[in-house]
Structure 1
Amino acid sequence: MANDQTHNKHLAPVLIWLAIYPLITLLLFVLGGHIEHFLLPLKTGILTIIAVQIVYYVILPFYYHVINRFKK
């Protein structure tokens, strides 16, 4: 059981990074031209408001669903 907890402890940051990095890259590609003249804190705020919602409600549930299918 302790091994599962350690595995899960290290898996979560990897999954979060695998969700965030491509998403931020995509958002910058799509929105970059529209927000390029905004101040940096505003750009960061816009990107994080969008990214956190997508990561939390879409990407991470999908990743965990895939992982749970392989555990069975």
Structure 2
Amino acid sequence: MANNQQENKHLMPFLIWLAIYPLITLLLFVLGGHIEPFPLPVKTLILTVIAVPLVYYIILPFYFNISDRIKKQIK
């Protein structure tokens, strides 16, 4: 049981990073020119308003589903 908790402790931050980094990169690529004139706090607000719901409701559940499938195959 302790080994499983240790595994989850490291898996969660990795999956969050794996969700956020490519999404922010994609958003900056797509929206970069459109949000360039805004001050940094407004740019950050725009990116986070888009990114946080996508990560929480779409990307992370997808990653958890894949992670669960892999764990079941390994056992």
TM-score, length basis structure 2: 0.93
Q: Which amino acid aligns with 2:28?
A: L
CA positional deviation for 1:71: 1.7
Q: 2:47 is matched with which residue?
A: 47
Q: Which contiguous aligned blocks of 4+ residues in structure 1 show a shift greater than 2 angstroms?
A: none
TM-score, length basis structure 1: 0.97
Q: 1:4 is matched with which residue?
A: 4
CA positional deviation for 1:49: 1.0
Sequence identity (%) = 74
Q: 1:34 is matched with which residue?
A: 34
* Deviation sequence 1:13-60 (CA, Å, 0-9, x none): 001001100000000000001000001000001101110010001110
What is the rounded CA distance, in whole Å, between the counterparts of 1:36 and 1:71 in structure 2? 43
Gaps of 5+ in 2: none
1:56-67 correspondence runs (5 A): 56-67=56-67
- Alignment length, in residue pairs? 72
